Chains A and B, each alone.
Chain A
């Protein structure tokens, strides 16, 4: 009896410690082994490697652009879900709800501002991230397909932003979507059908608003999340961020080999080119790129805990601070309620589509479908066209001067078109000077 009581009492005394230990499998690490175990056993940290190369942590190498994009997506998810509590996707109510955000919803304005500016920021950061990956040659094998996924993510980001643009149901929204969906209608063969399915009607109206709402709050974020997960997973499986050749080349994968009597199963010959029938490779044999093991540390790497974690948290802090600062000083635009009869003159798409709109003003098919289609196709095929193996993991490597020049030209032309469309086009799309 007394024995039992002591054990119950002991449990009670130890309860807090036991609960803590059951949640956090490792105490705050004090040794290298602990630092490794912390990254390894925590669900939220195990997405990171145990050790990370110093180069990947250098702000001047990545500028944290991919991470900023991801954090902006997080901010967009949180603010977006909150805004959904007050928004109604109806042509008669949507605009009123926008006004209500200003007048009768606590923190309504700042939430909408954060959502809008994060969306713009995400489009910009994803594009800049793509530029970073290009100029550092980081799409080279084995990262080709991750570049393709990245291009898809850029497209999904644009689509998410575009579908969200209609929801306030103001003049800007209505006419931007009218112009945007008409561009889709110029696609050969399927254009008219796509436009009709997208709008759910012949013109932009209630059906289109509902459809864009569903795409914006459910379909696109879901697809985006899946793509982001695969994108991150592949970074890990490809051995982290791209590194210069000198660091990658000499290291061989440490492999446990055991001699087998029986013929190897078919799997190993298919997966590992170097396998011979008498050898069986452990799972490490399937890992591509340098495999880091505790006890055999590479000099140019550091533990993720705390180095990478602190860097990531700091970028998160900067992102939140930046979004809050901009949202505090600048209000998201809201124009007059939709007037189906009077398009604003000029009717302009969101800034990231103004380059497209500028092209469209020359030729609807070539500007809206032909040229962008070729551009996207080239972006998707890029890692399979440019097979050179040199100049990986460094900014503007001399060996990649041709590829980098072409891409820089592509970037500059698009920025030029956007600037022209934004600042130099007035009524009837006439050339005007902003000065």
Chain B
């Protein structure tokens, strides 16, 4: 590439440095042009190690009536890549983005799950963007690494180009050097009555993967309060959302009472019970509605006077005793 740049520089300064006069004495202009073009083509066509984010679709001709799936893949071109970010750009007038799924993705942790940023939704721009970023600890090397799928519905006939922008792929080198990236847009032709493959959600009867949540505290975030972290994968349709429940469990003998409501949230989650006396449950829900629940048992037990169940029982006993006493006294009269 540096050579190609040098040649372009020479061509650009052709007249300035007087090369045109010297060379035209030696060769005809047409031959010179052909030679320069060939050299440039050769230089620019030299194989350069460059990774690419590319798209896969069942067909480049899609129907206006049916939703269809576009897969987003990573080709590392022999390099070990451990972090990735970018934007997927598509025309708003032609395509309606329905949702994404990432079951089986090579990304271990999403920094930003593929989604349309709020500001882009409100903009009057002709294109819509989907931003994403994530990491693969240990790195990934391969030519068809599955990142995620986008489900679209075509809005009107015509041509639509789905492409990438602001792509960054980082080498697994400990310092985060960027790999060269090559773009590979996907051109779609939207027509009426095409018998293309309609997107149907894959059958997913399996719950998300088992996982281990952790409770931690750091002076660096949330003013040093206890927070919960969790992450898992779903190999079928991908994770849809997480819910957390903090539940204090009151127990007297065999009598047990617990209460706590499920809250839809993301990791990290600041615990409401900073005394860590609640059992914390984390529910991972996939896009097919399958659930996996993991629990962290309360770190500390309740003190006797915090046991509301005991107070309720004592109160109940006193109340019943009082009523009995009143009844007994009135009966004696």
Whether chain B is bound by chain A comes out as no
Give the interface of A toward B (CB within 8 A). Answer: none
